[in-house]
Structure 1
């Protein structure tokens, strides 16, 4: 059953989104098409604008619509703590909990020799520069083998600085990812963080 080439192209593009397979994409596309004026047109306008304006924050790596994100521009944040996360989704998960009031550093991935991802690709040298002026670096990386390998690498690199190195405490399941945790688990893990 064909819906026309342009509609099929929309469905194919939507199916590339995380969590959407071909059937879910077809249902979502149909909903958008039925609600063209209420949802599709405003969504297209916002997406077009964001495609032109979104960039990475020059300080922490968060997604922003200006050179410096709202978190880095906020003078009320604690400049003496940096929370290191793997991805922007993890930063958003931490912010959703509302318990961390310091600064962030988004790595944009984890160390991976197979994928040729080294310290420079993750901005670890920039993290070390930023860490020289703080009291604590919180390693809030995913509890995966790659995440923990990256955390150990960063901890080793930070040893020469007089900075406290902590990691998230119990509550984050082994193999779990921050973006999938509930707010209470993230809150408990932040409160019970320990030396790395």
Structure 2
């Protein structure tokens, strides 16, 4: 069984991942399972979708560095921000992988390129789900952009629930 856990750093996404582990342990799918018996030992794929920063064409503004007072273009600055975020997420996902592998589950990580559209993000995730033959998607009810006090689903969560090709477990 392959289970996709979506993580964006929000409290809800991390809570959903913890809930998944508790649920799997309750049903006896943990370290008691032989590592050679992959049929009964679920594989958890921890996925992050990187945010997108759109720089409108025609903007020629330069930004000065506080450190060395050198100017760089907005495009260069945006690219540096994207690379920094990607590097941080590689590190964050590796830490999560290490943490959950200790519970006895096969774990791997993946990063997808984001978009400005929650619908496009959902379609990108579903394409990954189909390509990897994922059996279950687990995610929080809202992510970093959601408003949890209104008890509404976040836009990516709602879109995934609407278009998913496999079951979706939404953890409040």
> Do Structure 1 and Structure 2 share a fold, with TM-score over 0.5?
no
Question: Which structure is larger by alpha-carbon Rg, 1 or 2?
Answer: 1
Relative to its length, the structure with more strand (as a share) is 2
TM-score with structure 1 setting the length: 0.28
Query: In proportion to residue count, which structure has more helix?
Result: 1
Q: Identify the structure with bigger relative contact order (alpha carbons < 8 Å, sequence gap 6+).
A: 2
- TM-score in terms of structure 2 length: 0.30
